[in-house]
Structure 1
Amino acid sequence: MLRFCVHYGIHFLVPIAIGLYFYKENRLWAVLLLLAGIMIDLDHLVASPIFDSARCSIGFHPLHTYWAIILYIGLLFFRKTRIVGLALCIHIVADTADCLLM
């Protein structure tokens, strides 16, 4: 239960909190963009089985590879892509926490 709460808490509560606190001018837009980071889980559709509770996503799925993570971190350095990079990095942190709690 702890693993579930930590994983999905980071996926949903952290983006909402960051969007509300740091993006006061465009709160709704920021929260929606930050929550959209969960879209990289679409790469689970190419795995067999699609969901395996004993599998760590990091390093396994195409959008969860170390090369992709480096790209997501790189997005943080450019103003136009910063919020997208932040959304993707939050997602990776959530999945890393999930892996560590296995």
Structure 2
Amino acid sequence: METSAIIQTSIHYGLHFLAPAGIAYLFYSNRWKFAWLILLSTMLVDLDHLLADPIFDPNRCSVGFHLLHSYAAIFVYAVVFLFAKRGSVLQLVSLGLLFHMLTDFIDCQLGAIL
């Protein structure tokens, strides 16, 4: 694996696993472990990759391609985040989904420049 691919993969998975821990600790310090688990659980959104052919394409950007990564879905996640009760599980789930989309978007951009 070449250096740029290692860097991109490290950033991608660091944002998917470690950054949610930081978000949970910063914004939900009294229940950060619970919040982190909820944020991590939103990675189940990647099940929509199973509907694609091929399932994994390293040169394909997930955002805007897969059903649950579509711009319409991202809009719904944002609306839910804005209108859900502050600190609720629903708001945590929508935050996790939005952060997941941001992470995938960053990965797309890195793939284009690395």
**TM-score normalised to structure 2 length:** 0.85
Q: How many residues align?
A: 102
Q: 2:109, 2:13 → 1: CA distance?
A: 14
Among 57, 65, 70, the residue aligned to 1:60: 65
Shift of 1:75: 1.6
Unaligned runs of 5+ in 1: none
Q: 2:31, 2:69 → 1: CA distance?
A: 29
Question: Which amino acid counterpart does residue 26 of structure 1 have in structure 2?
Answer: R
Shift of 1:34: 0.7
Task: Give deviations 1:51-71, integer Å, cap 9, x for gaps.
Answer: 110110011100000000001
Shift of 1:21: 2.0
Identical aligned residues as a percent: 43
Question: Larger deviation: 24-33 or 65-74?
Answer: 24-33
**1:11 is the counterpart of 2:16:** yes
Q: Which entry has the higher C-alpha Rg, 1 or 2?
A: 2
Question: Larger deviation: 40-49 or 70-79?
Answer: 70-79
Q: 1:6, 1:24 → 2: CA distance?
A: 24
Question: What residue number does 1:91 align with?
Answer: 100
Which 4+ stretches in 1 moved above 3 angstroms? Answer: none
Unaligned runs of 5+ in 2: 1-5
**TM-score normalised to structure 1 length:** 0.94
